[in-house]
Amino acid sequence: MATIYDIKLTSIDSEDIPLSQFKGIAVLLVNVASKCGLTPQYTALQNLYSKYATQGLAIVGLPCNQFMGQEPGTAEEIKDFCDTNYQVSFPLTAKIDVNGEGRHALYDLLAGDDAVFPGDITWNFEKFLINKDGDVVKRFAPQVTPDSDEVIQAIEDVLS
């Protein structure tokens, strides 16, 4: 069975992001969108990244346009939006599908029938926490903010 480390993503700059580069560190994966009511979560995501990156947390934003077309921009527009409005310094990927026939292999692993937390992604800003061993340990609903006690506690647990 494939693991998270077998998956490759494409960065927003069209470069390979092999998830194997995250071996030994925790990762928060978040499907993101620029024109969503939850878009301000970028602030909390960036704050988490700034606080915990040196302790072994990576955050990867995965732009997705599957929810009411709320990520319509080009890669350059998404990058500019995130930089200008939220000073995002964590990696962003090229747009991907998280549900349906074109679902990226990463989301088959995260939310497919055989996943620890199966079920379609419900909206933008759904979050998956991966521990240092590459195991999916938590799934957070879109409305659960990155700076909530629940998310912070889960991150601190996987970092300890």
**pLDDT value of residue 2:** 79
| pLDDT, tens only, 21-73 | 999 999 999 999 999 999 999 999 999 999 999 999 999 999 999 999 999 99
For the annotated catalytic residues, the residue numbers are: 36
Q: What is the pTM of this model?
A: 0.97
Segment 86-109 mean pLDDT: 97
- Average model confidence (pLDDT) for the chain? 97
C-alpha separations of 37 from 13, 121, 124, 142 in Å: 26, 17, 9, 11
**Assigned CATH for 4-159:** 3.40.30.10
